[in-house]
Amino acid sequence: MATTLGQNQYGKAESRVVRIVRDGPTHHIKDLSVSIALSGDMDDVHYSGSNAHVLPTDTAKNTVYAFAREHGIASAEHFGIRLARHFVTSQRTVHRARVRIEEYAWERIAAPGSPTGRAHSFVRAGQETRVCQITFDGGRWEIVSGLKGLTVLNSTDSEFQGYVRDRYTTLQEAYDRVLATDVSARWRYRWTSDAEPEPDWDGEYARSREGMLQAFAGTYSLSLQQTLYRMGAEVVESGDTIDEIRLSLPNHHHFLVDLAPFGLTNEHHVYFAADRPYGLIEATVLRDGAEALIPADLTLV
């Protein structure tokens, strides 16, 4: 039975690019996932395996990073237009380019007394989920509340150096790095009895969330562990209603893209946001004298 080649395309999917514009102490972020599909004169590569008309998909990825550095990212649409035009006009065998972009919005973490928010600390817009677990045995209550998916980022004021090295260590010390994480937190209230008035649950949630954000933004981080502890301590110390908080912080690594092969410098402008593998930092912070009761593997849906 005879066959013929139908519609086809190829490209690079989900190239994650983070562009940081450092306007003095104030930073601006564009965070995109870019997927590129190219089609055109591609019969030979399918029928005979000849790559003579094929622009490598790795080149498409590199173009995303280089364009982010050279042209910036004014908007997702404008960036996509630049890319699509480039591929179609620069490659005679590419007749059509499709660029799909997802943009992840960031908001500045509010700073007391500042209407514009903190200069280099951000929280992902509209992402977190509030959670709680209520246990009652007929006489005693145990209330564990929290949140998950609170994505935060500091575009500076973070280091990682002075760590243990062995024969397998290749990581280079970082003196100015992007620090980003998805905060998962569970806190246990002191309230256990109907004989006492219930806490203001909504108010306590807002206070705990804000305390973690302010501690994340306000800590010059020498390690994510240090930042985690300050976030937990802020929640416990700023009120008298919470005895214990457990935090789980995956370290979302942002790596500077090497743009030297394209004749471009990259002094903390363009980053590749890796999602796997990631460091996972977890710890419990307790009020002095309190007992640790939140399980280390507690998962709330």
57 as an active site residue: the answer is yes
17 neighbors 64 (Cβ within 8 angstroms) = yes
Judging by beta carbons within 10 Å of its beta carbon (0-12, 13-18, 19+), is residue 121 exposed, middle or buried? buried
Amino acid at 126: G
Q: Note if 12 is an active site residue.
A: yes
Q: Among residues 12, 27, 252, 254, which one is catalytic?
A: 12
Tell me whether residue 160 is annotated as binding: yes
| Catalytic residue selected from 86, 253, 254, 269 | 253
Helix axes 224-237, 201-218, angle to 10 degrees: 140
Residue 177, marked binder: yes
Catalytic residue among 28, 53, 57, 93: 57
Name residues whose C-beta falls within 8 Å of residue 270's C-beta, 6 or more positions apart in sequence: 17, 18, 19, 20, 65, 68, 69, 256, 257, 259
Judge whether 57 is annotated as a binding position: yes
Return the residue matching tokens 């290749």. 170
Please state, in angstroms and rounded to a whole number, the distance separating the CA atoms of residues 10 and 196. Answer: 64
Q: How far apart are CA 203 and CA 192, in angstroms?
A: 18
Does 297 appear as a known binding residue? no
Residues annotated within a binding site for O2: 57, 251
| Bind-site residues for 5-hydroxyisourate | 57, 225, 251
List binding-site positions.
57-58, 160, 177, 225, 251
> Which residues are part of the catalytic machinery?
12, 57, 253
